[in-house]
Structures are given as structure tokens and as C-alpha cells.
Chain A
């Protein structure tokens, strides 16, 4: 059987095993083993691509080009991190007798299922399958949002599902309109919705219907990526979902949704010229960065803070693509890669702090966490330094690449606003994390004592992820860099 099919089949089988009962060690081993194997397979698939083959399956409905390969590998990577940290996360809760059998079933079943759906998104060459896969990611993650079964998690899940379904209804309308704009030239059957088919007939697509379709599809998939103004589900879902699931949302889902946005953008670019969808992406991206700014400054919850940071970063990537320069596209994809390395460290260390204090609200955690949980606090500070784009880490360079492309191109005013927002965001995020970690404890007497920090599986995962994030800043493996270049070629030249 095809390597690509195996890559998708393994997480699906893992999910099936996980949702049945069984001893804990078995379930942990299945999830971690299954998702590690998945990561290996996704790297092997990307390796096939780098050796000149174009892995595909089911009559080209699934197809791996440069962009797919990059998103696939990053998604597989975060899958392993989530599984390992997730096993440790659940162990900590088991030790405190907080885990019910329902939770175990949902956790071990839904996390691999979510990974499966995201991998399917990243290799879809068919706009219909792409839509179905994105809907599957939504459905797989709803019960991860309600995982802790609090009042607020129901609220978050409701917003997540309703807004997500609405976004997907828009994306579906966009897909239907794109199909309609072909006016029969796309042909019959499954192949008519292939992205490659769209690219072949792009110049003959009906411009008015196509424009309408592109707007709906970009807003629809933008909702899943968390682009403003359809981002409001994100802070709620991030706060309520357990951190391993949030990592999947913040990296895998974000990259996957951006992948959908890029596919639509490329069709639009080939048919209508670069201005139309680039302008839209630039606007949405800039709006996301600007909207995230005030909320980061006044934030009251650690995980919501990270949600707004993720809205900011998807905005940065959208701006990079929307600038309409090859360097901007390269910067955006580089940013996506560095973000995938750094974000899990931030989420896992923040998740550890929240778990020790049984809450992620700033006033429940209390300032000065460094004295109580030095390892997790240091890791959080490290992650904050990386994801705010400080030198010498990778995100500084990717942001510089985007800014340089912007100031050399036609959108100088937009780039200037973008730069100003980035500076404010840097200060705001630094202030929030600095206050939390180093600030003086307000009143040491009236707070409940947090749990002591222990070196366990989850902590080991965070440290490993942090090492990888630091190493990646100075040394990107040659194959990974080749993938980023190949993806840039896809986004810039459309092939």
C-alpha cells in the first residue's frame, strides 16, 4: 500500500484503539507509539517528494506537493509532542483523581482522530475533500473543548461549534461558487473539484462568480485559522481545552487552515491576477494583528493570552503572503515553521503552570511564579522570548524578512502600521509574562498553596520541545529548508 495512505491510516487506527477501554499503560503506549509512527511516515512521505516523486493516492484526490509536504511534516511533529505531553498531562490529573472513564476514552480517542483530520487537510488536492477534512477537525475537537466539563467549557464549545459551522458553511458556499465559476469546463466527477484542475482552467473561470466564491471561501477557512473578524472562538476554546489539544489547535489546525486559505488564494491569483486575494489577505492579516493588540494588553488569563498571540501570528503569516512579494511568502512560511516549534513550548509550560495552580486565570495563579515553579516559569519566559520575535531566535528573522519585503514593495503604509503593532505586541506580551513570572506576590498569606513541581513525562516533553525550539533557531535541517523553499515555489509560482 501507498506510503501516503499509511500516513493517514495509522492515526485513524490509533484513534480506534484509544477509544476502547484497556489498561492505562497500553493506551499511553498506543497513542504515543501511533503518533510517533505517523510522524515518521509523514517525514518519509515528504522525503519521497524531495527525491522528485509526487506522492498521490485515490486518483490524485490526495497529492503531496511542496506546500502539502511542509504542512504535513509540521502537523506530524506537533502530533508527537501533543501525544507525549498529553499522556503526561493525564497522568498528573490521574494522580489527583480528576479523570473519569469518559475523559480517558475521549482523550485517547479524539487526539489521534484530530491529528488524522489535520493530516488529511494537509494532503487534500480536492476542494471537496478539503472541506470535509476541515469539518472533521471541528467535529473531532468539540469534545476536547468540553473536556473538563465546566460551565465555561460548555459556553466555549457552543461558540466554537456554531462559529466553526458557520465558517464552514461559508467555505462550502465558496467551494460551490468556485465550482460554478468553471461553467462546466472543470469536467465531471471527482476530478472536477481537484485543485490542479482548477489551476489548469483558471484563466477561463467566470470572474464575478469566482470573486464571490473566493471571498466566501477565504472568510470561511479564515474562521478556522482564527483570522479576524471571525476569531472570537479562539480565546474561549484555548482557555477551556486541555493544553495538549490546544497545541494541536494552535499549530496543526492553524497551519492546516492557512493551507486551505493558500489553495484558494492560488486559484484566485491564477485566474484574477495577484491583487484581489492578496489585498484581502493583507487586510484580514493586518486586522488580526491590530485586534490582538489591545486584548493582549488587558488580558486576565494565561491561555487566552496565548490565543491572542496565535491570532497575531496567523495575522503575520497572512500579511506576509498578502504583501505580494516572493520574500514575503518565504518569510510567512518560515514563520509558520518557527511558530510550530515555539508555540508548543509556550502552551505546555503555561499548561503546566495552570495545572499546578488548578486555573489559568492570572489572579488565581498569582504573580511571582518563579519562586514556586522555577522550571515551568523559565520555560515560559524562554517561549515568550522566542514567540515575541526577539533576536537571535528564528521568528525575529522571519518577521524581518516579511517587514523587508513590505517596505520594498508597494504597501509601505500597511507595513508601517504592521511594524508599530508588532512593537506594541512585543511590549504587551513581555509585560504580561514578566509580571506573572517575576512580579512580587501580592499577598502570600491568602493564597492556596500550588502543587509542587515534579520532573515527570510532561515536564520532560516541554524541555525536549524547548531544546528543539532553540536548536531550530540556529540550525534548520537541510531537508526542512528544502521543503520551505519548495512550498514557497508552490505559493509564488503556483506549481
Chain B
């Protein structure tokens, strides 16, 4: 039962990453990120129940509160304020992007086979999903032009790292995890402020326009 829930949630996270790649509406992309974080929270809560590690409940609660509610709300507010709702044509079109992501998933799973078998097949799946998400996040980051999409890509990478932390190590020490969450929130806040300033200045949030500094 636990195994099924974990694998289902992990699969859901991977699907949400794929949907994000295929998505042009920014609001939907943010909601997808929220859903992805909710699934991460469920993974953490399930691990906490099945392994009796109560630290992980704090992680789960923190993940759901911050990444499912607070960060998406903040990003949506930023979008509302600046009034830009759609991603423009990415550097690589959607079908080609999805094909690349398929390849990245294969790579992620291939690397995950090197992890020790003793960790069990659930954590094998979790690592496979996490590494794939990491690569997809990096891919999103280099092919998209909107500042908000780049933030979402960064957050996807960060979710992938947390999935490894929860899935493989059953959680980092609590105080470290609190510190990391605090830093992530602060980073998103600063990125939001920068997006604001960029839009004010350039009347656009295409980061491809930020290309005056070379050499």
C-alpha cells in the first residue's frame, strides 16, 4: 500500500514536469508546480508514517504550506501585477521538447540503477524520477524565455533535490531542512522582486532580451 502511494506520487510528479514542458499558459504552469509540490508533501508524509520518522511530518507540512500555497500564490500575484500571461514560442517547439525530455528520463533512470539494491525498489523509482525531473528542469531553464518560467524550472530542480532527500535518506536533519526552506523562500522572493524591476525597465520579461553584457 505504502509502496503504491509512493510510486503513484512520484509518477505524478514526473507527469507534472512533462505537462510543464508542454504548457504555454503561465498560470497553469504555476498550478502544475503547486500540484507537484503537493505530491512531494504526500511522499514525505507517507515516508513519515511508514518509517515512523516524525521529523518528516514537519518537512511534509512545510512543503505543502510553502511550495503548494505560498510560492504559487506569490508568483501568481507577480504575474497579475505585470499582466503577462503566456509564454512565447520557446527556443525549441513543444513536440521536440517532449521528445528530448523522454530521452532525459531514460538517462535519469539509467543513472539510478547504480544506486545500491538494498535501498529497495521504491527508492529506486524515486531516484529515477528525481534525476529525470532534475534534467527536465535544467532543460526548461535553457529553452524558455520568460523570467517566470525560469523560476519555475529552478523550483522544479529544487523539488527534485528534495525528492532525493526524502526518498533516499529519509530526510535530512530537521534544522538543516528548516534553514534550506527559509533560504529557498527568500530566493523566490528576491527573484520575484527582480522580475518586477525587469518588467518595469524593459516592459517585458523575456530574459532573451537581457543580452547586452558579452565578452
Contacts and interface: CB of A to CB of B under 8 A. Distances in A.
Interface string B178-215: 01100100110011001001100110000100111101
A394 B211 CA distance: 38
Nearest to B161: A173
B111 interface: yes
Contacts of A139: 183, 186-187, 190
Of A152, A169, A188, A235, the most chain B CB neighbours within 10 A belong to A169
Given A154-B197, A155-B213, A166-B157, A173 B173 contact: no
A151 B209 CA distance: 11
A129 interface: yes
A128 B172 CA distance: 9
Given A151-B212, A161-B191, A208-B114, A169 B158 contact: yes
Interface string A166-194: 10010011001101100100001110110
Interface residues of B, number: 42
Interface residues of A, number: 49
B95 interface: no
B147 interface: yes
Contact of B190 (A142, A156, A159, A176): A142
A388 B150 CA distance: 38
B96 interface: no
Interface of B is mostly: helix
Interface stretch (A36-44, A278-286, A297-305, A468-476): A297-305
A297 to B, nearest CB: 11
B147 A158 contact: yes
A186 to B, nearest CB: 9
Contact of B213 (A152, A166, A190): A152
Nearest to B195: A158
A400 interface: no
B28 interface: no
A131 B173 CA distance: 13
A131 B180 contact: yes
Given A129-B176, A298-B215, A299-B215, A135 B187 contact: yes
B134 interface: yes
Contacts of B114: 208-209, 212
B154 A169 contact: yes
B169 A155 contact: no
Contacts, number: 123
Contact of B176 (A128, A152, A236): A128
Contacts of A128: 172-173, 175-176, 179-180
A303 to B, nearest CB: 11
B179 A129 contact: yes
B194 A169 contact: no
15 contacts: A131-B180, A142-B190, A146-B194, A146-B197, A154-B210, A158-B210, A161-B190, A161-B194, A162-B150, A165-B191, A169-B158, A173-B134, A183-B116, A295-B215, A300-B215
Interface of B: 111, 114-116, 118-119, 134, 138, 141, 147, 150, 154, 157-158, 160-161, 164-165, 168-169, 172-173, 175-176, 179-180, 183, 186-187, 190-191, 194, 197-198, 201-202, 207, 210-213, 215
Given A151-B201, A165-B191, 13 more contacts: A128-B173, A128-B180, A139-B183, A152-B213, A154-B198, A154-B202, A154-B210, A166-B138, A166-B157, A176-B169, A179-B169, A180-B164, A304-B215
Interface of A: 126, 128-129, 131-132, 135-136, 138-139, 142-143, 146, 151-152, 154-159, 161-162, 165-166, 169, 172-173, 176-177, 179-180, 183, 188-190, 192-193, 206, 208-209, 212, 235-236, 239, 295, 298-300, 304
